[in-house]
């Protein structure tokens, strides 16, 4: 007679075989490389992770804090991240293998998400009115490995300054930069992000602290001449931030959601489809997601689209711009 304990063990093993055997559904575990907690990438990425987990079958996604665009493309290269939020200029450099990337990275776009507005935040009572006025000042150019650092260096150079010699450089993320300005440790800081950025809103609302945004749209032609149409200009509307009473004209660059070219086509298709069918979940997390429209998603990507995303757009009668051919 078989002991009851042995029968129980056999039943448990049988059930385990049902639950975890070859016919059980596979669970894809994905990660999204975002940015610092004070910017837009992180809340947007967290909402996107939840959306995919909820609406793409057998897929579980987590959002990871990173230094943002440059590091995110390196994570795509190593496939330590499956999706990444990346500034368009950094994505283009990565795919082309330009500095700071040692080799071309086979990144592909799922969608152009929204525009990043370049913020140059200065003390409200300062006499800094142009990029050239930053000479000799204490300036945070963004955390190392961030897209903010890339665009800050390019804007400073286009404005006639050497980023390594003509300013006292700090390399801080947006939350740390805002804290440093609050404490009087920097005179200005750069931030490339969506509207509004929480860390800058909090800084503007701090009692006894005044700030202003430095207009710099005049720098755009020099950037376009050297780097192309990935840079353009737009307005940060008045009252985007506390005590900001005037519109501010700034340089912008698109954000793209990137995957490795080897990511499964069907999975990319399902992710892209879910993003549009459940877009309201993203909007609830951050207003920048209001810009996620078919028209915007297929425009302004400086790198090719992933075939899975292309299939979704083609089903919707949309044709991405530029054509999905390898970047050069």
Question: What ranges do the domains of the chain cover?
Answer: 27-113+256-315, 116-253
Q: Tell me, what's the pLDDT at 145?
A: 79
Q: Tell me, what's the pLDDT at 322?
A: 59
Q: Tell me, what's the pLDDT at 28?
A: 87
Below-50 pLDDT ranges, the chain: 2, 4-25, 323-328
Q: Tell me, what's the pLDDT at 326?
A: 38
Alpha helices in the chain (DSSP H): 4-20, 41-55, 69-78, 88-96, 147-158, 174-182, 198-204, 220-227, 265-277, 279-285, 294-297, 307-315
Tokens representing residue 61 in the block: 């996604």
Closest CA to 255 of 214, 210, 195: 195
Q: Tell me, what's the pLDDT at 319?
A: 84
Q: Tell me, what's the pLDDT at 39?
A: 85
The CA distance from 147 to 271, in Å, is 25
CATH number at 116-253: 3.40.190.10
Is residue 92 within 8 Å of residue 231, measured between CB atoms? Answer: no
Closest CA to 210 of 242, 173, 179: 242
Place of tokens 């801080």: 172
Q: Tell me, what's the pLDDT at 36?
A: 86
Collapsing DSSP states into helix, strand and coil, what is residue 57? coil
pTM of the model: 0.83
The CA distance from 326 to 176, in Å, is 38
| Superfamily (CATH H level) for 27-113+256-315 | Periplasmic binding protein-like II (3.40.190.10)
Q: Tell me, what's the pLDDT at 87?
A: 93
Same fold, 27-113+256-315 and 116-253: yes
Chain segment 142-160, per-residue pLDDT in tens: 998 788 999 999 999 999 9
Q: What single-letter DSSP state applies at residue 137?
A: S
């Amino acid at each position: 007679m078989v002991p009851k304990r042995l029968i129980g063990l056999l039943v448990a093993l049988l059930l385990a075989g049902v639950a975890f055997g070859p016919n059980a559904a596979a669970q894809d575990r994905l990660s999204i490389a975002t940015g610092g907690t004070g910017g837009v990438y992180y809340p947007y990425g967290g909402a996107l992770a939840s959306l995919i987990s909820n609406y793409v079958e057998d897929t579980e996604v987590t959002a990871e804090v990173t230094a943002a665009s440059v590091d995110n493309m390196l994570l795509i290269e190593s496939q330590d991240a499956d999706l990444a939020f990346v500034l368009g200029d950094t994505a283009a450099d990565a795919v082309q293998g330009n500095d700071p990337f040692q080799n071309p990275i086979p990144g592909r776009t799922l969608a152009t998400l929204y525009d990043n507005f370049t913020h140059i935040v200065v003390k409200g009572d300062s006499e800094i009115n142009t990029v050239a006025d930053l000479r000799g000042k204490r300036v945070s150019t963004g955390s190392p490995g961030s897209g903010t650092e890339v665009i800050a260096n390019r804007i400073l150079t286009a404005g006639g300054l050497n980023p390594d010699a003509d300013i006292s450089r700090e390399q801080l993320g947006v939350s740390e930069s805002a804290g440093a300005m609050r404490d009087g440790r920097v005179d200005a800081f750069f931030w490339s992000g969506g509207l509004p950025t929480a860390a800058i809103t909090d800084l503007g609302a701090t009692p006894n602290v005044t700030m202003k945004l430095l207009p710099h749209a005049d720098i755009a032609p020099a950037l376009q001449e050297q780097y192309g149409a990935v840079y353009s200009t737009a307005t940060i509307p008045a009252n985007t931030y506390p005590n900001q009473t005037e519109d501010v004209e700034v340089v912008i660059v698109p954000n793209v959601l990137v995957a490795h070219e080897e990511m499964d086509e069907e999975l990319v298709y399902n992710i892209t489809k879910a993003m549009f069918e459940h877009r309201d979940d993203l909007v609830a997390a951050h207003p920048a997601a209001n810009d996620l429209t078919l028209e915007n998603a297929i425009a302004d990507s400086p790198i090719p689209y992933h075939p899975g995303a292309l299939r979704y757009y083609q089903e919707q009668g949309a044709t991405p711009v530029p054509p999905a051919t390898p970047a050069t």
